[in-house]
Structure 1
Amino acid sequence: MNTNVKDELLKRLFESQGTPISGQEVADEFGLSRTAIWKYIKEFEEEGYEIASIRKKGYVLISSPDRVNAANIHKFLQTKTYGKVIDYYNSCESTQNIAHDAAQAGASDGTLVVSEEQTAGKGRLSRPWNSAAKKGIWMSLIVRPSLIPQQAPQMTLVAAVAVVRAIETVTGVEAMIKWPNDILINGKKMTGILTELQSEPDRVKAIVLGIGMNVNHDEEDFPMELKEIATSLKIESGMEIDRSKLIAEILGFLELYTGMYEKHGFGPIKLLWESYSNTAGKRIRAVMLHETIEGTALGISEDGLLELQLDDGTVRGIYSADIVIKD
């Protein structure tokens, strides 16, 4: 199967907006038989697309299924680079693993790996992530920013700001950021962000940004142990969300804020991040590998560290921890 031809055919069906496209003209353009184009149309129909065949005129797209494939995302995409190349899966173990291998193999800046389902999704510290089929957004973006390795951890915070802005734009729902990588709505988690680095001593080769979002989950979709702590955009907004549109918005804000970080440093991102933080000013417990401390969260440093003021007045910069909000 020539995926490029298939993707291009589907893209044209979307763009034609009800005007028939000629199967013969597409066949001639790509040097294929009319039968080959017809077979692609049949594959689309098997995937849930409704396509009408108009005699002597061509094919018209009547309706499309809820899929986060390239054609659906590209309908909404307005980026220069991010998401222009999309590697789509109906099911995979982990988009992060696929993207990691693709980045090492030289995949271009902005390449997106996205799947309808993950069978072995992972979060921070390799914790499992529940990735229900066709309910959420399970994706990993390969970015190649002009940064030094010490700047890479802040990309988690860049991504967090992009996600909350996209949620706000698409749904009107106000989400908050819990340091370092959780997006919450009404105190419940609906998004996790995982940042993995490929680098040389003096430069970043690639950063793989993994984003897992609970989008169209109903309450019964969550296992019992998650019902009290997890939520979805559908639950919080009361409406079904177009996942492809949300992905396109996330990519747009990610491209915008990554460029801002490259050009102007972390300062502008820090201001944006703190405006959406649910952590600053709260008393928290930070559980680290070798110690647990409590104090008042002041905000984040220019390096993206969580600044915690202890009861004796000293300020600690925390690089990595699980935090529990005490009040």
Structure 2
Amino acid sequence: MENTLSIQYECVPETGSTNTDLLNRAKKEILSAIVVRRAINQTNARGTRGRHWDGDDHCLMFSVAVPIGRDLREISGVTLAIGTEVAESLRKQGVKAEVKWPNDILLNGKKLAGILVETTKSPDHRFVLVVGIGLNLKDGLRDDGYGRACLADALPVSDIEKTEFWLKLLSSAVVFAINNVRSEGLKRTQALWDTIAAYKNQTVSVLEEGCEPYDALVLGIDETGHLLVRTNQEIKVLQSGSISIRSKKK
């Protein structure tokens, strides 16, 4: 079922976390629109696995709150779909973005954008999906050890400074991904994956909770969005959560 709500944009100079802002709002009130909240500076921005996300005017930071109804099964695999559509939107603008499973956005093998997907319930007991995105615009941010890329690596300054354009482009990609998953599942995501996947047909190091790191060849994703890899012994199906993959150092 497609979400036909209008999109409401708002911007504040500073906040702790736009994701936290929208999660708290959704818990207290029934949203009558899709809300896109941007902050110029976030003092307590959060990434995946509890990591802190550094950002200021070198980074475009915002969150999108989308009411999605009572059944989370309608959006199964949506995290993967969002990463795919964000990367595809950037590629259409001349940025050769790739998705590191499940949804980190890379450029030239370094992290260009991070995506955090969370859910909460409104007072009417319907779920609201809150998607936070941090997109590195230009140099100046602290390297978190994984390597940072920015739009300035791919585009002229005049294009990078069009922050409203990038905000609307990526927030629209988020909404499109959610609507598409609700209506078609992961068919489109699976079809796009081979064209935008980082490490496709490459050997990576897999870090799985409770296991020793091991090497595996990235094959692709299945119809549910799980990552398929081949080890020396078998083809494994990896689920996001307690698993991460790293490029093998050359």
TM-score with structure 2 length normalisation? Answer: 0.86
Q: Radius of gyration: which is bigger?
A: 1
2:106 alignment counterpart: 184
Alignment partner for residue 160 of structure 1, among 59, 83, 105?
Answer: 83
Deviation of 1:108 after TM superposition, in Å, equals: 3.4
**Cα deviation per residue 1:242-289 (whole Å; 9 max; x = unaligned)?**
111011112223333322221111112221233210132111112122
Change (3 A) 1:147 1:213: farther
Deviation of 1:131 after TM superposition, in Å, equals: 0.8
Deviation of 1:187 after TM superposition, in Å, equals: 0.9
Give, as a single letter, the amino acid of the residue that structure 2 aligns with 1:264.
E
Unaligned runs of 5+ residues in structure 1 are: 1-78
How far apart are the structure 1 equivalents of 2:144 and 2:236? Answer: 34
CA contact (8 A) 1:94 1:120 kept: yes
Equivalent residue of 2:19, what SS?
Answer: helix
Report percent identity of matched pairs: 21
1:308 alignment counterpart: 229
Give, as a single letter, the amino acid of the residue that structure 2 aligns with 1:206.
V
2:40 alignment counterpart: 116
Unaligned runs of 5+ residues in structure 2 are: none
2:134 alignment counterpart: 212
Structure 1 residue 318 and structure 2 residue 236: aligned? no
Deviation of 1:81 after TM superposition, in Å, equals: 3.7
Equivalent residue of 1:303, what SS?
Answer: coil
**Cα deviation per residue 1:187-241 (whole Å; 9 max; x = unaligned)?**
11110001112269xx9611111111101x22xx133x44871021023323241
Q: Number of matched residues?
A: 240
TM-score with structure 1 length normalisation? Answer: 0.67
Equivalent residue of 2:154, what SS?
Answer: helix
**Cα deviation per residue 1:11-59 (whole Å; 9 max; x = unaligned)?**
xxxxxxxxxxxxxxxxxxxxxxxxxxxxxxxxxxxxxxxxxxxxxxxxx
CA contact (8 A) 1:191 1:212 kept: yes
Query: RMSD of the TM alignment (CA)?
Result: 2.5
Structure 1 residue 261 and structure 2 residue 184: aligned? no
Equivalent residue of 2:26, what SS?
Answer: helix
Change (3 A) 1:158 1:109: farther
| TM alignment of 1:146-295, pairs within 5 A | 148-150=71-73, 152=75, 154-169=77-92, 171-198=93-120, 205-215=127-137, 217-218=138-139, 221-223=140-142, 225-226=143-144, 229-240=147-158, 241=160, 242-291=162-211, 292-295=213-216
